[in-house]
Copies of this chain bind each other. A is one copy, B any other.
């Protein structure tokens, strides 16, 4: 291929005097901002295209261009512009400012800016701020072993994965809660703005307290296009868009144009106006305005709309088709530059249009003019400690468990509502963090419905709109957050945790699937950040899944789904933990553990309905620490320790545990000669092989619990095949029989639910008869009586609408017969 002719470029027009005259920027500041922006644009394009010759010190040749062009140019110039101007206001105001970068594939811009201010090199010392480092920065982008094209855990300064769109604004609010001195800027792409989670996030200010919380400054970037389509918001008439943002409760500030100098001026002015307004609103609020009784209930925060061309400053036209300002600028504006000399020249012309020789010195470092716009130390966006929250994290002050525990004299004779007791523990945590304000409880309008209402002893529910006398527990500075959106709950909590605080998400079990994909991304974030030495551990994201599948008495089929466990157990095992505490004290022990943990997603499943107490708090703690264990008091172990039991009844989950214990009770009474072992599993990953999960048991430990060759009847809270997928390599798996939820049952009684899914005590006892060799014949009559009991139940509930008394009133160790 012939070598391309050298490309020369006339300097682009310097910032116009017209632009300078508009203020607020003086000519010198304008020049510096523009240089910084050009440098960032050059570096963004360089990452997408260049394998070598990073400063264009020689004519661009095909081998300097990456063999596969992967990346997205379209959003970068806008992000670079915002970053440059955020630098300006940070320096001018000594702001503690964090930015969430929402638009997809914006990593080249964020990385470019981070390299310019040195924060990238601080995190990755081999990517130096010189020509060699620049070569590395360029090559690694979207390259095997390198970094992805989205803001990601690898991106200094980011608390946001840009790969899945829609969560930026919720993350920004999460970061701002309880950070009164922090401003969180949030660039929202107009594509992203079409997603549901983003659309719902605008009203997050309803829950942001101007006294105790910081501020969020949304910057809606309207570059007009998604991959292949115009965006909805960009095509609205200006007045309608302003009206929409006012309807959302904000005061919009418009910036629009394609003349760099004018846009620099307008954006600088808009940022000044916005930040002045934020400061004024906070002053007013902190002086006691906005009491919610009358007048404006809450501040109207500013939002900036920034309308600039997609792929601004990139090629105007390629092959006769318009590119800049169209969807064609979304990814690679000039392709085939390695093989097409004309395209190579177009690429070179474009890259040289930034005049790199003016922007980088002979070593390849940014020149003083560019560096003049860089804040220093932790004020740099790539080095703000809030974006590496583990740096700021303090241990949560947890109460002594004994203070929250319920007394248990005899197992299975008293009941408590597990989540109600947890509410007490959370109340103490809220109390202990009253001044520190680094713990929040989020949930979709269900804190009380999930019986956690004792937490209101210590704090209220965040709410900034008008209040009425009949309202209860609403409080401007409350740290319980309720909104009918699992997306917001998850997004807020992620933002809160990633900036170094603690929290808990309580949800109806079935509807946590609403945030499956967000949980995915957070687990992926944790898995990756754990492998980055500079990222410090953050508090785990703990889900309390309650109002679970077995107790949807009045909600029925649509509210029954225990599959979130299956979902998270597909992800990287180093970041996932799942617990099924069988009673109140075990829930407390698990909560205590998970709230102390770091860098996990913890899934805790526990009921809110009255549940038998099986273990005192010390036994509960020990049992949870083991994760699985034999309940000798519940079984009929053989007298000789050399003998294995005849059958193992295993259980995981509160309802399955109750049914297994009731089945063990039936067997003890009616088949006392069968040696039954009862095993309870709290930490479900214990079932996995030790090389598949950090909590996995050795085969020896597994065999010691489950035996190598006795039938195991396993009553599991969720879909039964999960247990098989965890245990298929274990000895005796062929004789493991799992009962669980089979998508049966609807609006009905608790016992009918377990019957319909073959998880009930009678069925489990029948399973034992069917599986223990020789019993089928010997216990045929008993088996028939068990089957009759199930049949009797059906007629009873259809008439009475409630469970058979012998089932409903059963207690461990009483004489009341179930047959």
* Residues of A participating in the B interface, judged by any CB pair closer than 8 Å: 51, 66-68, 70-71, 142-150, 152, 161-166, 191-192, 194-203, 206, 226-232, 235-236, 240-241, 243-249, 297, 322, 326-327, 445-449, 461, 463, 465-468, 470-472, 474, 482-485, 487-488, 510-511, 513-514, 516-517, 520-521, 524, 527-528, 553-559, 561, 563, 566-567, 570-572, 719, 721-722, 724-725, 728, 733, 743, 746-749, 752, 797-798, 800-802
Q: With A199-B196, A567-B566 in contact, is A513–B520 under 8 Å at CB?
A: yes
B556 touches A511 (CB 8 A): no
Q: Which residues of B contact A244 (CB under 8 A)?
A: 244, 247-248
Q: Which residues of B contact A470 (CB under 8 A)?
A: 322, 326-327
CB-based nearest B residue for A803 = B144
Q: Which residues of B contact A191 (CB under 8 A)?
A: 445, 484
Contact check: which of B51, B482, B484, B557 meets A192 at CB < 8 Å?
B484
- Please name 6 further chain A to chain B contacts, defined as beta carbons within 8 Å, in addition to the given A230-B465, A572-B743, sorted by A numbering: A144-B749, A196-B198, A229-B482, A327-B470, A567-B567, A725-B728
Q: With A249-B240, A326-B470 in contact, is A163–B230 under 8 Å at CB?
A: no
Q: Which residues of B contact A488 (CB under 8 A)?
A: 194, 196
Q: With A244-B244, A567-B516, A570-B719 in contact, is A559–B163 under 8 Å at CB?
A: yes
Q: Which residues of B contact A484 (CB under 8 A)?
A: 165, 191-192, 194-195, 226, 231
CB-based nearest B residue for A688 = B721
Complex alpha-carbon distance, A70 and B510, angstroms? 19
Secondary structure class of chain A's binding surface, majority of residues: loop
CB distance from A15 to the nearest CB of B (A): 28
CB-based nearest B residue for A139 = B801
B164 touches A558 (CB 8 A): yes
27 CB < 8 A contacts A-B = A51-B801, A68-B554, A70-B747, A71-B554, A144-B749, A145-B748, A161-B558, A164-B511, A198-B200, A203-B232, A227-B446, A227-B449, A228-B449, A228-B482, A230-B467, A232-B465, A236-B465, A244-B247, A244-B248, A246-B247, A510-B517, A516-B516, A521-B558, A566-B566, A724-B725, A725-B725, A725-B728
CB distance from A639 to the nearest CB of B (A): 34
A752 touches B144 (CB 8 A): yes
B194 touches A68 (CB 8 A): no
Q: Which residues of B contact A719 (CB under 8 A)?
A: 570
Q: Which residues of B contact A327 (CB under 8 A)?
A: 470
Contact check: which of B200, B230, B231 meets A199 at CB < 8 Å?
B200
Complex alpha-carbon distance, A483 and B200, angstroms? 16
Q: Which residues of B contact A724 (CB under 8 A)?
A: 724-725, 728
B150 touches A230 (CB 8 A): no
CB-based nearest B residue for A573 = B743
Number of this chain's copies in the complex: 2
Q: Which residues of B contact A487 (CB under 8 A)?
A: 195-196
Q: Which residues of B contact A801 (CB under 8 A)?
A: 51, 66-68, 143-144
Q: With A445-B229, A567-B566 in contact, is A145–B798 under 8 Å at CB?
A: yes
B747 touches A147 (CB 8 A): yes
Complex alpha-carbon distance, A448 and B227, angstroms? 9
Complex alpha-carbon distance, A567 and B334, angstroms? 40
Closest 9 pairs (CB-CB, A-B): A244-B247, A163-B558, A196-B196, A70-B554, A148-B556, A199-B199, A513-B517, A235-B465, A194-B484
A511 touches B517 (CB 8 A): yes
Complex alpha-carbon distance, A470 and B467, angstroms? 50
Contact check: which of B463, B746, B800 meets A148 at CB < 8 Å?
B746
A527 touches B447 (CB 8 A): no
CB distance from A706 to the nearest CB of B (A): 16
Q: Which residues of B contact A67 (CB under 8 A)?
A: 800-802
Q: Which residues of B contact A561 (CB under 8 A)?
A: 520
CB distance from A561 to the nearest CB of B (A): 6
Contact check: which of B150, B524, B528, B728 meets A555 at CB < 8 Å?
B150
Q: Which residues of B contact A725 (CB under 8 A)?
A: 721-722, 724-725, 728
B70 touches A468 (CB 8 A): no
Q: Which residues of B contact A448 (CB under 8 A)?
A: 227-228
CB distance from A1 to the nearest CB of B (A): 18
Q: With A196-B485, A513-B517, A725-B724 in contact, is A558–B524 under 8 Å at CB?
A: yes
Contact check: which of B230, B246, B559 meets A471 at CB < 8 Å?
B230
Q: Which residues of B contact A166 (CB under 8 A)?
A: 196
Contact check: which of B161, B195, B449 meets A485 at CB < 8 Å?
B195
Q: Which residues of B contact A226 (CB under 8 A)?
A: 445, 482, 484
Complex alpha-carbon distance, A191 and B152, angstroms? 33
Q: Which residues of B contact A150 (CB under 8 A)?
A: 555-556, 558
Q: With A68-B801, A513-B517 in contact, is A228–B566 under 8 Å at CB?
A: no
A556 touches B149 (CB 8 A): yes
CB-based nearest B residue for A204 = B232
Complex alpha-carbon distance, A297 and B235, angstroms? 10
Q: Which residues of B contact A148 (CB under 8 A)?
A: 554-558, 746-747
CB-based nearest B residue for A721 = B725
B235 touches A246 (CB 8 A): no
CB distance from A361 to the nearest CB of B (A): 29
A243 touches B247 (CB 8 A): yes
B570 touches A566 (CB 8 A): yes
CB-based nearest B residue for A555 = B163
Complex alpha-carbon distance, A614 and B246, angstroms? 58
Q: Which residues of B contact A728 (CB under 8 A)?
A: 721, 724-725, 728, 733
Complex alpha-carbon distance, A449 and B226, angstroms? 11
Q: Which residues of B contact A466 (CB under 8 A)?
A: 235
Complex alpha-carbon distance, A199 and B194, angstroms? 10
Contact check: which of B247, B557, B746 meets A245 at CB < 8 Å?
B247
Complex alpha-carbon distance, A200 and B202, angstroms? 11
